[in-house]
Amino acid sequence: MGESVAPFSPTQPPTQLRSASSGCVVGQERGFRCLPVIPGTPWCAKHHPERQAENRQHARMAARASHARRTDPALDAWAATLASSRAETREQALREAAVLVAKRILTAAEGHAIVALSREADRREKAAKPTTPARVVVEVQKFNGQASA
């Protein structure tokens, strides 16, 4: 028996063949389909030699965006309580930070940073409080019959 060829279906769109000149030189060499070429050049925008620096910059920005650490909105709300001016609220926030480190939501380094910042906030708060001035006692002695101050 011979090979059977499926008949052309009227609902199937006809295939469009790309001309050899519409492919990028790099794509043709490597055997993959590339973007359409820039008119007047044999390269597509991705492989054009004059655009390599621009393409590298775009790739760098994309990598940074994809690897950026995204914080949890609940964690951001919790961080606002850490900035509170009340020491009791900060102590509660530090306890919560310890729990978050234990649950591995925060790293140990992040936990240490939170504690260090909280200690610094406590130190500055204590330094900002006005202290009552110490009493100054002035003693006056008589010297040669005259009082001196």
CB count in 10 Å sphere of residue 113: 13
pLDDT of residue 20: 46
pLDDT of residue 101: 87
For residue 60, what pLDDT band results from cuts at 50, 70 and 90?
very high
DSSP state of 117: H
Record the pTM: 0.36
Q: Looking at the predicted structure, is the pLDDT value of residue 124 above 60?
A: yes
Question: What does each C-alpha distance from 36 to 15, 52, 59, 60 come to in angstroms?
Answer: 17, 17, 20, 24
Share of the chain above pLDDT 70, in %: 72
